[in-house]
Amino acid sequence: MSERDEITLTINGRRHAIRVEPRRTLVDAIREDCGQTGTHIGCEHGVCGACTVLLDGAPVRSCLMFAVQADGKEIRTVEGLAKGDELNTLQRAFMDHHGLQCGFCTPGFLMLITGVLEREPDISDAELIDVLSSNLCRCTGYQNIVKAARAVAGDMRRQRTAQSGN
Amino acid sequence: MAPASARTRTKHVGQSLRRLEDRPLLTGRGRFAADISFPQQLHMRVVRSNFAHGKLRGIDAAAALALPGVQAVWTAADVADIPPIDFRLSRIEGLEPYRQRLFATGFVRYVGEPVAAVFADDPYLAEDAAELVTLDIEELPAILRAGEPPGEFEPGRSTEPAVVRKGYGEVDAGFRAAHTVVEATLSIGRHSGVPLETRGAIARYDAARDMLELHGAAKVPHWNRDQIARMLGRSSWSVHLFEGHVGGGFGIRGEIYPEDVLVCAAALRLQRPIKWIEDRREHLIAANHSRQQQHRVRAAVDRDGRILAIDDEIFHDQGAYMRTHAVTVPDLAAAMLPGPYRIPAYRANAYVRLTNKTPCGTYRAPGRFESTFVRERLMDAIAARLDLDPIEVRRRNLIASQEMPYARRLDTLGTDIVLDSGDYAGLLDKALAAVAWPELRKSLAVRKAAGERVGAGVALFVEKSGLGPFDQVKIGVDTDGKVEVISGAASVGQGIETVIAQICADALGVDYRKIRVTHGRTDRIEYGLGAFASRVTVMTGEATRIAASALKVKAIEVAAELLQTPAELLDVIDGEVVRSDAAAGPSMSLGAIARALAPGSPLRHGRPPGLSAEGWFHSNHMNYPYGVHIAVTRIDNDTGAVAVERYLVAYDVGKAVNPMLIEGQIVGGCAQGIGGSLLEEFLYDERGEPLSVTFADYLMPTVREMPPVDVLICEDAPSPLNPMGLKGAGEGGANAVGAAIAAAIDDALEVSGAVTELPITPQRLKRLLRSERKS
């Protein structure tokens, strides 16, 4: 158990050189070794999605991966969404639509939605519901999370179009 | 710059304002229990019983202790001096021997019961070491059904610690006079709140100040502080609890459990901070369960379906021990069962039975989710028996608004139940209108005729809220004009910072965004009752209004002197004391008044230093919000799955402080109700081995199982018990879901009384479909 690997986790563009046991989960490494506690642990077996982060752009359950598997990959977490004090569109939509109560599942939903909308900006409402059903929330009954996600889908689409037009 | 006419006050109460809580939670800067760490901390891992019932013959920790980095392994012998965990609510005589100790002592009584604890330098290591602790347990037969005759808890004590008896009127005479007697046996499954954040507790002892701190507290920090101090033989002043962010409460989180006391005792004795974070499997077998009851109920009715008497026998499956809630849940079930109806005679005997399962406590709408299911099933059964419309039967029995306040002649939680205000029939009308009931019935009839299994169900309920007996709030203004409200309430994610700030903002005359609401800290305020029983908006809200009003009077009085203006002409608007009758004129900010009242200020003129005030609100009665649920369901004939197509909750909250947050509470509660009605259930095998130990077994609704939920918030019956008319909103979304969905499924099956058990899983529904085919 004293055997440790040297790895580098790149989280929100910042490199963290850490030494971890091979069995250390990615979420523990993100939280405990890199100090980014915004990513939460809800079930440790990949069902609830509270630990969802983006790994090279794709949403993953960071409780189901070992830290060593993320060596050298680009990780994005909830801490990377806002620009300084300015919330991004999705964060603002969650606030406007009351898409969070206790806030524990929120980082997972934010990263899930971010990952999906970046990859599939034209996602249909039904497909969006399908994706959102992969995470659990115990407070909101989901209605307002769906509203926030739908509201921002349009915004992100427009943003993307504007960017590609440049 | 000055406005042309007299300045007007911004209204906050009644507005759907954005939450003050959201920003840190949206940016990953929340401080949940697992986010708290202290240098040199040890990690605790609990070794739990793997038998439901057995004699504990021995514990061998030698292999665990041999691992480098393991600092200690504790068992019952190490904490024999610490008393069992006491009752917080609904204490009755004779329960003491059934309380839970920190570790199993002599016997184990449920799978998951703490038997030992490992303290190690690293959490992975602590878990490794815990697996090396071997338990020698001689298995005994498990008691698993509360409805069967009681067994033995220990020599000389049965597994029935108490029977809760409630009632009034001549029940037997009611049955003798009955035109018809309707009977049913109805069961509610074992569910729990299952917050997304598991429990966590981090204790540290500061020997320099002789101060013990517990972080990760929730719900009832002051009560827990006093208990921990008592259990560890310390003065209350030398123990403080700190609430960070709490990832959902629902009744279950924040009660004192063995682990909370263990980390405190270990911090004192091992002289290192101790961190314990529960894993999900532990949570599902060790934190409070709830709900499981069987009711054998009878109603006596006259020929018109008017109820003459109800007689209910409740078998309450408490699990292995009596925890902090004592008999709260069976007591509430018995006391609240009559709901909105005029019931001339009533008797409920609740048999509290221990079983070899996880001990129980409260879960959102405790006792009411259960008893509403029972009562509304009974109303449907009466309608079916007398061939009356279910809604008409309800109307005939509803208490009229003119009868308010209505003394129920029952008590619960130490208060007499007096329904304070309500127009039950009026809300039923509004709810039916909101779903266009006649048209809905017609469209369902058309779909049924086309072969679809669809149906609608209606359920009514009375909630309770605003439990006293007191709340204290302190408000202070700093020299920059920023306001702090300090309360002994707690946040479990429901948005109390926003709600309390809104109330303070209106009473004081400041922008709600300039108000900091501090809660969950025993070092900042002497008293507090925390967050449960939908009490915070009512009790803390009114204490806040009182404190803010007093502070405003004080500010105006000082300003009147300094501005040489009569106090009657002054008001506080946006944090400035101004003339209320003119657009311009002298003004003074609250910050400037605070500076004038600074201890060394020459302007203070003998007044007590500081711009601050305190408010107390006392209340001996709860108040009673009420609601109507309407569900539309569709059954899949092949799979037995039930889809909820549509849902309406109509709820009279007296006065809505923030409608957006109330709607959030209701929809969230409704989701939990749907879970408990269709999906969620803690199951055990015949040896008492829990079968629902992961989120793959204990199924909670995802977005896909949720219908669109319409929420109709009404303010037709403000509470006369507080000046704003406030009632609570936390539990009305969950209360009647089981009842409404059961009625909707009956309607879809076209079999009255088909549903007798929650949750209505596909397996149970397939059984109903099969029995239908046979008959």
| Percentage of residues of chain B with pLDDT beyond 70 | 99
Tell me, what's the pLDDT at B775? Answer: 67
Domain count within chain A: 2
Tell me, what's the pLDDT at B3? Answer: 43
Is A18 domain-assigned? yes
Closest CA of chain A from B39, distance in Å: 13
Residue B613 pLDDT exceeds 70: yes
Closest CA to B335 of B628, B89, B648: B89
C-alpha A107/C-alpha A116 separation (Å) is 14
For B551-600, what is each residue's pLDDT tens digit?
999 999 999 999 999 999 999 999 999 998 887 889 999 999 999 999 99
CATH number at residue A150: 1.10.150.120
Residues of B within 8 A of A106 (CB-CB) are: 25-26
Residues of A within 8 A of B498 (CB-CB) are: none
Tell me, what's the pLDDT at B704? Answer: 97
The answer to whether residues A27 and A57 belong to one domain is yes
Tell me, what's the pLDDT at B4? Answer: 42
C-alpha A144/C-alpha A124 separation (Å) is 17
Residue B330 pLDDT exceeds 60: yes
The answer to whether residues A30 and A60 belong to one domain is yes
Is A66 domain-assigned? yes
Residue A80 pLDDT exceeds 90: yes
B482 phi and psi angles, rounded to 5 deg: -80, 140
The answer to whether residues A30 and A74 belong to one domain is yes
C-alpha B159/C-alpha B142 separation (Å) is 12
pLDDT classification of B774: cutoffs 50, 70, 90: confident
pLDDT classification of B771: cutoffs 50, 70, 90: confident
The answer to whether A113 touches A149, Cβ cutoff 8 Å, is yes
Query: Which residues constitute the domain of residue A43?
Result: 5-79
The answer to whether residues A40 and A73 belong to one domain is yes
User: Residue A100: which of B22, B28, B198 has the nearest Cβ?
Assistant: B22
For B395-454, what is each residue's pLDDT tens digit?
999 999 999 999 999 999 999 999 999 999 999 999 999 999 999 999 999 999 999 999
Q: Please tell me whether the interface predicted TM-score (ipTM) of this complex is above 0.95.
A: yes
Indicate which of B15, B16, B22, B692 best probes the interface with A, i.e. most A CBs within 10 Å of its own CB: B22
Residue A156 pLDDT exceeds 80: no
Residue A166 pLDDT exceeds 60: no
Amino acid at B413: L
**Boundary-marking domain end, from A79, A112, A129:** A79
Residue spans per domain, chain B: 22-29+467-618, 33-141+198-246+253-286, 293-466+621-774
Provide the 3-class DSSP secondary structure of residue B740: helix
For A93-136, what is each residue's pLDDT tens digit?
999 999 999 999 999 999 999 999 999 988 999 999 999 999 99
Tell me, what's the pLDDT at A162? Answer: 78
C-alpha B115/C-alpha B107 separation (Å) is 10
Is A84 domain-assigned? no
Does A38 sit within 8 Å of B30, measured CB to CB?
yes
Tell me, what's the pLDDT at B585? Answer: 86
| Percentage of residues of chain A with pLDDT beyond 70 | 96
The CATH homologous superfamily to which domain B33-141+198-246+253-286 belongs is Aldehyde oxidase/xanthine dehydrogenase, a/b hammerhead (3.90.1170.50)
Contacts of B570 (CB under 8 A, 6+ apart): B556, B559, B560, B563, B577, B578, B579, B580
The answer to whether residues A57 and A12 belong to one domain is yes
Give all strands (DSSP E) within B446-482, no chain letters: 454-462, 470-477
For B83-98, what is each residue's pLDDT tens digit?
999 999 999 989 999 9
Closest CA to B94 of B156, B179, B185, B184: B156
The Cα-based distances of B265 to B40, B53, B66, B121, B604 in angstroms read: 17, 27, 23, 17, 48
B409: enclosing H helix or E strand: strand B406-412
Fold of B293-466+621-774: Aldehyde Oxidoreductase; domain 4 (3.30.365)
Does A146 sit within 8 Å of B703, measured CB to CB?
yes
Q: Is it true that domain B22-29+467-618 has CATH number 3.90.660.10?
A: no
Q: Which residue of A has its CA nearest to B245?
A: A102
Q: What is the mean pLDDT of residues B91-120?
A: 97
The answer to whether residues A67 and A99 belong to one domain is no
Q: Is B22-29+467-618's fold the same as B293-466+621-774's?
A: yes
The Cα-based distances of A90 to A81, A120, B707 in angstroms read: 9, 15, 23
The Cα-based distances of B149 to B354, B574, B604, B772 in angstroms read: 11, 66, 72, 32
C-alpha B367/C-alpha B33 separation (Å) is 29
pTM for the whole thing?
0.97
Burial of A19 (0-12, 13-18, 19+ CB in 10 A): exposed
CATH number at residue A60: 3.10.20.30
Is A139 domain-assigned? yes
The answer to whether residues A124 and A103 belong to one domain is yes
Residues of A within 8 A of B669 (CB-CB) are: 141
**Boundary-marking domain end, from A40, A60, A79:** A79
The Cα-based distances of B222 to B243, B328, B452, B498 in angstroms read: 11, 20, 54, 22
